[in-house]
Amino acid sequence: MHTSYNLRLIGAALCGALFLGGCANQLPQRSEHEERIERKLLDHSLQIDVGEPKVLELPQRRVRVHEQKSFEVTAFEVTRRYDRYTPYQPWRELYEVPMGAVAVVAGVGANVLNVVLLGSLPETATRDWISYGMAGLNPFMNVESNGRAEQNLASINETQRDRRMEYSNLPWAERPVQVKANQQQFELLTDRNGVLRLNLLDSPFSEQDIGRIGTLLLSVEDEQGQARAQASLLVSHTLRSKLREAHDLIFDDLEGDDVAQWVHRVKRLSDLGLEEEASELEQSLIELTRNDPELQEAFLKALLKDAGRLAADPAN
């Protein structure tokens, strides 16, 4: 009785082994190759270029802000290897068993014929047919099928190919700059070229007591707070004494004045050494009188006669 029981156990074990072996129908291993780039940030800094001189003698200044980074770049070649197998599906045995029998017979016949032909037949006819047939005859194994193969990642191998340094120097484009004037702090934006256009005669400085602004403190900081920079600009005493008068000359109501007062404003700005502001006011007045050719002509003549300035309508 014990002998019969042991035989049943051995038979069950052999069937289980055959079944498991059939389920693990292995296909040739597949490999994938790719390049992986690893960038390691070594240094990150911001730079504010306030230009020269460091003391403002004119109300306008273009400040450039740059973001600088250095990276260590490492290139790896990555190889992934996959174990492939054909999953077992019992219902396929309905056609694989008879096809396997046919393949075995064909393989045996091909081998006999190959002897006659002195080994000229390809292995696909002599060896592969028999392998296919034996797999088909095994009720616990499906034949190999690339079309429905599955795979598992077996290993990953990385090989370093290159290591180099990379540097970037980009404008701080359309990003905030904190500007502190006296006790007030403002947030201004750079343009797409990373240039901040400061104008003490324009908002938000014009809304302060601009005659008391002695120092402009500029600061920038990245979003993660890992890089920051500061710079300062002094405002000369001479410029501070001009700012309030220049502001009134530019921003007081123009339409309430006559031609002589317009010319006086332009000439006075020029006399103060604010030539850029004088030219901008001049063009604003030309634009204001565009729809009144007679008034515009009178202004241009008075400008030439009383201020010695030759101007013309840029639209003409």
* Mean local confidence (pLDDT), 255-272: 87
Of the candidates 157, 158, 194, the residue with the CA atom closest to the CA atom of residue 175: 194
**The pLDDT of residue 238 is above 80:** yes
- State the pLDDT confidence band at 234, using cuts at 50, 70 and 90: very high
Of the candidates 192, 249, 187, the residue with the CA atom closest to the CA atom of residue 59: 249
Q: What is the DSSP letter of 310?
A: -
201 found inside a domain:
no
What percentage of residues in the chain have a pLDDT greater than 90? 36
Q: Which has more pLDDT, 128 or 275?
A: 275
Give the pLDDT of residue 73.
96
Q: Which has more pLDDT, 111 or 267?
A: 267
40 found inside a domain:
no
**The pLDDT of residue 291 is above 80:** yes
184 found inside a domain:
no
* Mean local confidence (pLDDT), 61-76: 95
Give the pLDDT of residue 163.
93
Give the pLDDT of residue 123.
67
> CA angle 155-161-162, nearest 5°?
140
Count of structural domains within the chain: 1
**The pLDDT of residue 17 is above 60:** no
Q: What is the C-alpha separation between 189 and 51, in angstroms, rounded?
A: 18
Lowest mean pLDDT among 97-106, 149-158, 207-216: 97-106
**The pLDDT of residue 302 is above 60:** yes
For 289, half-sphere exposure in the C-beta direction (CA atoms, 13 angstrom radius) is 22
Work out the mean pLDDT of the chain and round it to a whole number. 82
302 found inside a domain:
yes
* Mean local confidence (pLDDT), 121-144: 70
Range of the domain at 268: 252-316
90 found inside a domain:
no
Q: Which has more pLDDT, 128 or 24?
A: 128
pLDDT digits (tens, 9 = 90+) for 79-93: 999 988 877 777 777
pLDDT digits (tens, 9 = 90+) for 183-197: 889 999 999 999 999
**The pLDDT of residue 155 is above 80:** yes
Q: What is the C-alpha separation between 195 and 81, in angstroms, rounded?
A: 52
Give the pLDDT of residue 21.
44
- List Cβ neighbours of 120 (8 Å cut-off, separation of 6 or more): 114
**The pLDDT of residue 49 is above 90:** yes
Contact 190, 212 (CB under 8 A): no
Give the pLDDT of residue 296.
83
Give the pLDDT of residue 188.
94
- Does this model's pTM top 0.75? My answer is no
296 found inside a domain:
yes
11 found inside a domain:
no
266 found inside a domain:
yes
Give the pLDDT of residue 210.
75
What percentage of residues in the chain have a pLDDT greater than 70? 81
